[in-house]
Amino acid sequence: MAGDELSDHPDEPTLRALFDTVIPVDDWPGGWEGGVGRLLREHGSDFMSWSATALANAAEAADRAANDSHRRPFAALAAAEQSAVFASLLEREGAAGPMHDVTTVAYQGFYGGTREPAGWQMVGYSAIPEGVDAVDAADPPGIDAERLADSYDVIVIGAGAGGGAVAAELAEGGQHVLLIDRAQPMRNSELRGNHLQGKRTGLYDVRVGPHAGNPRVIEHSDGTAELLHGEGDALAYGLNAMVLGGGTRVWQGMSWRFWEQDFRMASTYGTPVDSTLADWPFDYAELEQYYERAEWELGVAGDADSAVGRATPRRRGYPLPAMRSDRTREALTAAGRRLGITTSPIPFAINSVSRDGRAACVRCAQCIGHACPVNAKNGAQNTFIPRALATGRADLLLGAQVTSIEHDGSGTASGVVGVVEGRSGERGFRARAARIVVAAGAIETARLLLASGLGNEWVGRSHMTHGVALAIAGEAPDIKETVGPGHSVATIDFVHSDPHGWGGGVMFDAALQFPYDKAQVGRELASAPFGTVHKAWMRETPNLVGTMAMVQEIPHAQTRVLLDPVVKDQRGMPAVRLRGTAHDATRANVAAMAGHCSDWLRAAGGRRIMTRELTVAPQGQEHSAGTARLSADPAFGACDPRGLLWGTRNVFVADASLHVTNGGFNPALTVFANALRVGALMMQ
């Protein structure tokens, strides 16, 4: 049932009928013609190959049931008879699983798709607004490994937020820098319009990586271990973006400052049993100038006179005005007033007006997890990295994985070794430098340091992300517009407001859901998960409305990033083994915030509210942090206050690995700011 052979498969008439039972033909195409047939033809032999056995089983079960009840094959039945047979199979042990698989594939083909399926137009979804001329921003090509200099002042490993910012700081300060990333050059057009392989909701071989050959081992709380190969579910693997710019290439751009209390969590709340909670070795005041620089050099749109803008000391406002309001902000602001809650526009690293030769945001409906169609989204790839390259003192090496940092065993590193993919295939490379900066992301930074035999016992410990609380309304007014960035309004009233709440967190409207996500929610909210009822629900129900919170995580002593003793990646480097459990303080924090989310949503007219409490992600996510944390004492952290790895003379870290705590906010602005600080201190 794969590829071009699909049309010749004996099950095809049954499968067509099954998909058209899940999504019937009406004024709009049915499931098969609306996208499922194309999806299976184009991808049935690669990432959809999992479905072959499931769909064959479904076809067999459907024909058997139809013959038993009507003495005809399923495809020969009338539509009402097919629906009745399908409904009966959903309730039958042994047949329900294949029918659920059929439903999933139908949703993926009709509402998901790797390019625009019929379901998008049916529900009024358009990835790019009509009349917008997309630009196709491309990565700089970088240099060939054969052209590496004999030696550099600094090698920076990882070209995301931290690596891009520190590379710019060092190159502009006169240092000769080599910036290395394992991403291949990609155009923005390759990173949008594909919802089944997008970063945030991608189910298959996500375009931004990591791809097959990059396994991870996840230890679950029940003691079992799971091997992930790298080409599957983005959420299961950890939402890493292995592309130039890292996560900031496809992020939504929320850009918050941490609060003063976030830098002294242990002093404020104490250290609970089984936690590694600690204070940062410096306070907010030391980072404030770098927050200001990050906001202005990255380009953040916000309102300095709002509650968010006034929450932390600042000497300067935002460089760009806040994103314009919408129905969601207006409705939730009014609901907040009824509850006594203060709201603010969200600060985004997005051009609300044109800046630096790049256009203003066109409010496309697929901002989160996708590259910007007009290059209005500000990330390391179109701000700091071009600045570094413009100095003429920075080289960019793409498609290169550093597998080890070379050192003399007494704390002095001399360079790196790795594998680079070139036009003639893979080859090993070696680069030398006086100093090394690791900025590969919290998990990969710890992995590289451990594999290189560098650092103390704190490397890999205190891995944290955020707890997440979510409330979704099954019924709500039509207040969620089909526009980006996808979030609009926030309240910080529950940040550090409860002395027993362990920091709380920011709360904002839930993201605009893509059509496939809405279809999946409809399994629960529509009165039937298939057929005319579900299709009508998709067409007639307004965009789902929700609220969510980014909740301060209290790092658990048992949460670790380790090297697996057996599993290796395609280059022979040990894979990471991830172990994690939620601390009771995090669970309590998330539960409290879930209640606040529900209250705010109900005040906005939400009904039939479903809540979710997500308290631990051992595989990490785009907010992973803490695995090489800062400390003034090597007994309590992996790096000194400058970012220098304890036990070394010239190895620094400049990404979220340094975070001692991760705040109740998205941490990217803090990553940028602290990387600028690390770079500035390295120049002294």
In a domain, 269, yes or no: yes
- Cis-peptide into 29, omega within 30 deg: no
Asked whether the whole model's pTM tops 0.75, one would answer: yes
Per-residue pLDDT reduced to its tens digit, 272-326:
999 999 999 999 999 999 999 999 999 999 999 999 999 999 999 999 999 999 9
The whole-angstrom separation of Cα 102 and Cα 17 is 11
Same domain membership, residue 199 and residue 106: no
Strand order through the sheet with 505-509: 344-345, 489-491, 505-509, 545-551, 467-475, 607-614
Same domain membership, residue 107 and residue 52: yes
| Residues facing residue 491 across a β-bridge | 507
Instruction: Give me the pLDDT at residue 6, please.
Output: 54
Crossing angle for the helix pair 79-90 and 51-70, nearest 10 degrees? 120
In a domain, 481, yes or no: no
The whole-angstrom separation of Cα 159 and Cα 161 is 7
The CATH number of the domain holding residue 325 is: 3.50.50.60
Phi, psi at residue 565, to the nearest 5°? -75, -10
Q: How many CB atoms lie within 10 A of CB 282?
A: 15
Q: What is the DSSP string of 360-426?
A: PP---TT-TTS--TTS-B--GGGTHHHHHHHTT-EEEE-SEEEEEEEE-SSS-EEEEEEEEEETTEE
Residue among 386, 542, 551 nearest 475 (CA)? 542
Per-residue pLDDT reduced to its tens digit, 244-257:
999 999 999 999 99
Q: How many CB atoms lie within 10 A of CB 450?
A: 18
Instruction: Give me the pLDDT at residue 138, please.
Output: 87
| Residues facing residue 416 across a β-bridge | 405, 431
- pLDDT, average across residues 544-562: 96
Per-residue pLDDT reduced to its tens digit, 88-123:
999 999 999 999 999 999 999 999 999 999 999 999
Instruction: Give me the pLDDT at residue 8, please.
Output: 53
The whole-angstrom separation of Cα 547 and Cα 343 is 13
Instruction: Give me the pLDDT at residue 551, please.
Output: 96
Domain stop point among 102, 118, 134: 118
Same domain membership, residue 209 and residue 84: no
Same domain membership, residue 427 and residue 288: yes
Lowest pLDDT segment from 210-214, 291-295, 311-315, 394-398: 210-214
Does 5 have pLDDT greater than 50? no
Contact 402, 417 (CB under 8 A): yes
Per-residue pLDDT reduced to its tens digit, 261-272:
999 999 999 999
Per-residue pLDDT reduced to its tens digit, 449-460:
999 999 999 999
In a domain, 417, yes or no: yes
Contact 547, 600 (CB under 8 A): yes
Same domain membership, residue 413 and residue 285: yes
Per-residue pLDDT reduced to its tens digit, 448-502:
999 999 999 999 999 999 999 999 999 999 999 999 999 999 999 999 997 667 9
Instruction: Give me the pLDDT at residue 493, please.
Output: 97
In a domain, 529, yes or no: no
The whole-angstrom separation of Cα 109 and Cα 460 is 40
Instruction: Give me the pLDDT at residue 269, please.
Output: 94
Does 1 have pLDDT greater than 50? no
Same domain membership, residue 299 and residue 426: yes
Same domain membership, residue 340 and residue 213: yes
- pLDDT, average across residues 355-366: 96
Contact 312, 259 (CB under 8 A): yes
Residue among 247, 135, 121 nearest 183 (CA)? 247
- pLDDT, average across residues 636-641: 98
Same domain membership, residue 422 and residue 383: yes
Same domain membership, residue 167 and residue 96: no
Which 8-state DSSP code applies to residue 207?
Answer: T
In a domain, 479, yes or no: no
Does 133 have pLDDT greater than 80? yes
Query: Which whole-number Å values give the CA distances from 305 to 56, 347, 386, in the listed order?
Result: 60, 12, 32
Does 9 have pLDDT greater than 70? no
Average pLDDT, the chain: 95
| Helical (H) or strand (E) element with 103 | helix 96-107
Contact 351, 255 (CB under 8 A): no
Phi, psi at residue 193, to the nearest 5°? 80, -5
- Cis-peptide into 485, omega within 30 deg: yes
In a domain, 222, yes or no: yes
The whole-angstrom separation of Cα 485 and Cα 200 is 14
Helix residue spans in 604-665 (DSSP H): none
Please report which confidence band the pLDDT of residue 10 belongs to, taking 50, 70 and 90 as the band edges: low
Per-residue pLDDT reduced to its tens digit, 314-324:
999 999 999 99
Pairing of strands 545-551, 505-509: antiparallel
Domain stop point among 78, 103, 118: 118
- Domain membership of residue 260 as a residue range: 145-465+554-682
Residue among 677, 672, 13, 627 nearest 294 (CA)? 672
Same domain membership, residue 75 and residue 111: yes
CA dihedral of 620, 622, 623, 628, whole degrees rounded to 10? 70
Same domain membership, residue 166 and residue 39: no
The whole-angstrom separation of Cα 629 and Cα 458 is 8
Instruction: Give me the pLDDT at residue 499, please.
Output: 66
In a domain, 478, yes or no: no
Q: Which two tokens stand for residue 594?
A: 């879930």
Same domain membership, residue 190 and residue 43: no
Which 8-state DSSP code applies to residue 544?
Answer: P
In a domain, 503, yes or no: no
Sorted by sequence, the CB contacts under 8 Å of residue 225 that are 6+ apart come out as 217, 218, 219, 577
| Helical (H) or strand (E) element with 565 | strand 560-568
Domain stop point among 118, 134, 168: 118
The whole-angstrom separation of Cα 618 and Cα 623 is 12
- How many domains does the chain divide into? 2
Instruction: Give me the pLDDT at residue 257, please.
Output: 98
